[in-house]
Chain A
Amino acid sequence: MTSAEAPVPEPAQVPPAYARRLNVVAALVPLASGVVAAIMSVNLGIGTLPAPGPGMWPLIVSVAMVVAAAVLVLQSRPRGDEERFTKDVVVVAIAAASLVAYAFLFELVGFEVPTVALLVLWLKGLGRESWRLTAVVSIVATAALYLLFITALGVSLPHIIAL
Chain B
Amino acid sequence: MDFLSPVIAGFGVVFQPENLFYCLLGVTLGMLVGVLPGLGPAATIAVLLPITYNIEPTAAIIMLAGIFYGAQYGGTITSVLLRLPGEASSVVTAIDGHELARQGRAGSALGIAAIGSFIGGTVAVIGLTFVAPLVAGFALDFGPSEYTALALLGILLITTLGTGSPLKSILMATVGLLLATVGQDPLEGASRLTFGVDQLLDGIDFVIVAMGLFGVGEILYNLESLRRPAAPAAAVGSVYPSRAELGQSKGAITRGSVLGFLLGILPGGGATMSSMVAYAVEKRASKEPDRFGKGAIEGVAGPETANNAAATSSFIPLLTLGIPANATMAIMFGALLIQGIAPGPMLVEEKPDLFWGVVNSMYVGNLLLLAMSMPLIGVFVRILRVRAAILAPLTILVTMIGVYTVRMSVFDMFLMVGLGVLGYLMKKVGFEPGPLVLAFVLGGLLESSFRRSMRIFGGDLTGFLTQPITATLLGVIVLIVLAPPALRLSRRNRQKVKA
Are chains A and B touching in the complex at the 8 Å CB cutoff? yes
Residues on A lying within 8 angstroms of B by beta carbon are: 1, 3-9, 22-23, 25-27, 30, 33-34, 37, 40-41, 44-45, 48-58, 61-62, 64-65, 68-69, 71-72, 75, 79-83, 85-86, 88-89, 91-92, 95-96, 99-100, 102-104, 106-107, 111, 115, 118-119, 122-123, 126-129, 133, 137, 141, 145, 148-149, 153-157
Q: List 14 A-B contacts (CB under 8 A).
A: A3-B102, A4-B232, A4-B234, A6-B82, A26-B429, A51-B459, A54-B187, A68-B171, A79-B168, A83-B429, A96-B424, A126-B392, A129-B389, A141-B394
Q: Say yes or no: B228 contacts A103, CB within 8 Å.
A: no
Q: Say yes or no: A91 contacts B429, CB within 8 Å.
A: no
With A4-B232, A8-B84, A79-B430 in contact, do A103 and B413 touch (Cβ < 8 Å)? yes
Bound-complex Cα distance A95 to B377 (A): 33
> Which residue of chain B is the closest to A122 with respect to CB atoms?
B393
A-B contact sample (11 more), CB < 8 A, given A95-B396, A157-B405: A1-B102, A22-B428, A26-B429, A27-B171, A30-B175, A40-B193, A62-B178, A91-B224, A99-B400, A122-B392, A145-B398
Bound-complex Cα distance A34 to B413 (A): 25
Bound-complex Cα distance A86 to B244 (A): 49
Bound-complex Cα distance A40 to B224 (A): 37
Residues on B lying within 8 angstroms of A by beta carbon are: 51, 53-54, 81-84, 98, 101-104, 164-165, 167-168, 170-171, 174-175, 177-178, 181, 185, 187-188, 190, 192-193, 216, 220-221, 223-226, 228-232, 234, 387-390, 392-394, 396-398, 400-401, 404-405, 408, 410, 413-414, 417, 420-421, 424-425, 427-431, 443, 447, 450-451, 454-455, 458-461
Contact of A57 among B82, B181, B392 (CB under 8 A): B181
Bound-complex Cα distance A149 to B397 (A): 11
What's the minimum C-beta distance from A56 to chain B, rounded to whole angstroms? 8
Bound-complex Cα distance A99 to B420 (A): 10
Q: Say yes or no: B410 contacts A106, CB within 8 Å.
A: yes
Bound-complex Cα distance A6 to B443 (A): 40
Bound-complex Cα distance A39 to B397 (A): 38
What's the minimum C-beta distance from A118 to chain B, rounded to whole angstroms? 6
Which residues of the other chain, B, contact A40 by a CB distance below 8 angstroms? 192-193
Q: Say yes or no: A119 contacts B401, CB within 8 Å.
A: no
Q: Say yes or no: B228 contacts A149, CB within 8 Å.
A: no
Contact of A122 among B101, B103, B221, B389 (CB under 8 A): B389
Contact of A44 among B174, B192, B223, B429 (CB under 8 A): B192
With A57-B447, A65-B178, A100-B417 in contact, do A3 and B234 touch (Cβ < 8 Å)? yes
Q: Say yes or no: B175 contacts A37, CB within 8 Å.
A: no
Q: Say yes or no: B389 contacts A128, CB within 8 Å.
A: yes
Bound-complex Cα distance A43 to B48 (A): 40
> Which residue of chain B is the closest to A154 with respect to CB atoms?
B54
How many pairs, one residue from A and one from B, have CB atoms within 8 Å of each other in the complex? 217
With A7-B82, A7-B229, A155-B405 in contact, do A72 and B397 touch (Cβ < 8 Å)? no
> Which residue of chain B is the closest to A95 with respect to CB atoms?
B223
What's the minimum C-beta distance from A76 to chain B, rounded to whole angstroms? 10
Q: Say yes or no: A61 contacts B451, CB within 8 Å.
A: no
What's the minimum C-beta distance from A68 to chain B, rounded to whole angstroms? 4
Bound-complex Cα distance A11 to B262 (A): 35
Q: Say yes or no: A44 contacts B190, CB within 8 Å.
A: yes
> Which residue of chain A is the closest to B403 with respect to CB atoms?
A103
Bound-complex Cα distance A45 to B392 (A): 46
Q: Say yes or no: B54 contacts A68, CB within 8 Å.
A: no
> Which residue of chain B is the closest to A3 with respect to CB atoms?
B232
Q: Say yes or no: A52 contacts B454, CB within 8 Å.
A: yes
What's the minimum C-beta distance from B280 to chain A, rounded to whole angstroms? 21
What's the minimum C-beta distance from B413 to chain A, rounded to whole angstroms? 4
Q: Which of B177, B408, B430, B461 has the most chain A CB within a 10 Å cutoff?
A: B430
What's the minimum C-beta distance from B412 to chain A, rounded to whole angstroms? 9
What's the minimum C-beta distance from A41 to chain B, rounded to whole angstroms? 8
What's the minimum C-beta distance from A102 to chain B, rounded to whole angstroms? 6
Bound-complex Cα distance A108 to B413 (A): 14
Q: Say yes or no: B188 contacts A54, CB within 8 Å.
A: yes
Which residues of the other chain, B, contact A68 by a CB distance below 8 angstroms? 167, 170-171, 174
Q: Say yes or no: B223 contacts A91, CB within 8 Å.
A: yes
Bound-complex Cα distance A34 to B394 (A): 36
Contact of A54 among B185, B229, B401 (CB under 8 A): B185
Contact of A58 among B54, B181, B229 (CB under 8 A): B181
With A58-B192, A85-B428, A99-B417 in contact, do A137 and B54 touch (Cβ < 8 Å)? no
Bound-complex Cα distance A67 to B86 (A): 33
Contact of A26 among B230, B393, B424, B431 (CB under 8 A): B431
Q: Say yes or no: B429 contacts A22, CB within 8 Å.
A: yes
Which residues of the other chain, B, contact A61 by a CB distance below 8 angstroms? 174, 177-178, 181, 443
What's the minimum C-beta distance from B190 to chain A, rounded to whole angstroms? 4
> Which residue of chain B is the closest to A81 with respect to CB atoms?
B430
